Amino acid sequence: MTSLLLSQKAFVRRRLVGPVARFARRPLASPLDGRIVMITGASSGVGEASAKAVAARGGIVLCVARRQTELDRVVGEISAAGGAAHGYACDLTDETATEALIELALAEHGHVDMLVNNAGRSIRRSLEYSYDRLHDFERTMAINYFGPVRLTMGLLPGMRARRFGHVVNIVTWGVQIKAPKFSAYIASKTALDSFARIAGREAWSDNVTFTNLRLSLVRTEMIVATDAYRSMPAKSPEQAARLVVRALEDRPITIGTPIAGLAEVLNVLTPRVMDAIMAASNKRFPDSAAARGGPQPVEQPDAVSRSSEK
């Protein structure tokens, strides 16, 4: 019941009270003010932009990524802008390292109010080039599913005990569209999407909620390997970060796009028609040289990409 009331209050705040307050030039304080927010993949891309956006709204950001040098840069820039941030270098595919991260964060801050599972890996490769590459599926599951689940499960008991918490999972509109060439990536994100929906129902009565942010294409360094996506419309990391802030402040169940929503309906109502459309798209946008076994792109392991091949 508490979570339901909070959802209603968030709607009233965003749609009614907030605009009036801005018109009166007395904007409301952000619900993130003073909250401890852990963000993974915070050394670049969506994670970096989200960390800066949360800090600008008064949140205390725990920035997690593998690259210590880039973490130090992001934390330094947030601090220079007057925000509060702390950096934690961690490989989230490493169980021992992740457990140590949870223990250290709780020891230093007492609790974590909110978690943004952003770090991830995307692989765009047709099945015909994947028959001998089972490791593509294993490594996407390692960082896109098992990493976020391990981190969530480590922080969830404290959230439930304190009767407050929110987890945002950066997934993809692909969980609704089911786009060809992304079998490894979309499968891992679909697993996380489903985990969050079930976890949210179990933790609902403890006022711990989950949001699945189903992002469309985002213009990060990791999409440069795919020629087909260079000319397509894409969000900037800052635009994606604004959605992350909305997910944290309003705590909706999902945030998506109308196109993906329509595709999801059509996949149910006219599945064979959608199969034909997706098959045509599959032929129109071939695999890149990297996906076919050519030169590999430079890896940015902490960024969330929509179309990189490795």
Residues assigned a catalytic role: 185
- Render 11-73 in DSSP notation, one character per residue: HHIIIIIHHHHHHTT-PPPPTTTT-EEEEESTTSHHHHHHHHHHHHTT-EEEEEES-HHHHHH
Q: How far apart are CA 15 and CA 13, in angstroms?
A: 6
Q: How far apart are CA 238 and CA 87, in angstroms?
A: 20
Read off the tokens for 59.
């949140």
Q: Which residue has the tokens 């999972």?
A: 169
Q: What is the CA radius of gyration of the chain?
A: 19
User: φ, ψ for residue 216 (rounded to 5)?
Assistant: -90, -165
Q: How far apart are CA 234 and CA 55, in angstroms?
A: 24
Q: How far apart are CA 184 and CA 127, in angstroms?
A: 9
